[in-house]
Amino acid sequence: MIPFFGYGKGDKKDEPRVSIRARVCADCLEAAGVDRIVTMDLHAPQIQGFFRVPVDHLYALPVIGGHFRKKMKNPDKWVVVAPDVGAAGMANAYARYFGAKTVIAEKTREGHREMAVVNRIIGHVKGKSALIVDDFTITGGTLIATAKRLKQEGALDIFAAVAHGVMSKGSAAKLDASAIKELVITDTLEYRFEPLSKRTRVISAAPLFARAIRNIHQQTSVSSLFSV
């Protein structure tokens, strides 16, 4: 059981003379004798192909979606936002779940610190509330930059949701000073570098993993849990 696959960003060779870190982790797990993996919201779907053993890939959508569905009584007044093109598939899945529209932020990173800069929003957001969705956040930088641009484009209340909230030191203060009204994360990570922002809400993914374990043990369908 790997709720958060920590080396998920290392899914490709991004600089010379380095390994593909997610593949190295997959090889190490198999060498240790693992014969099945259950995880949630991988950074890149192709990571499943790094394993030669079965991988059950769960999604946080039903966990997080239930929380926001109560807020979205009128989906026409909401948009689901992908903070970059890579998150468009996830945003579309959330949008279908709520019956809302999807918009995409066009993002670039500047300098060695990889500071996120949102150049434009593709889609109409003026006069609408927005939910930014992503698989994980470390500093909150991408979410905050996207929220700032959404405000500039005329969005109303802005929320964010990620499966895995790493939340490095200093992220709480940045979130408190941002345009994000609420950040929803799951409890796939236990360790925190510092107390979470008061704007952060943690929803447990434990029941979802418990159902997956039960279905695997009973040899019943697991796909019903991660279909979106």
Question: Which of 164, 41, 37 has its CA nearest to residue 93?
Answer: 41
Question: What does the buried/exposed string (b/e) look like for 108-145 if buried means 16 or more CB atoms within 10 Å of the residue's CB?
Answer: eeeeeeeebebeebebebeebbbbbbbbbbebbbbbbb
Question: What does the buried/exposed string (b/e) look like for 57-67 if buried means 16 or more CB atoms within 10 Å of the residue's CB?
Answer: bbbbbbbbbee
| Of 12, 71, 101, 107, catalytic | 107
Active site residue 107: yes
Pairing of strands 55-58, 129-137: unpaired
Active site residues: 107
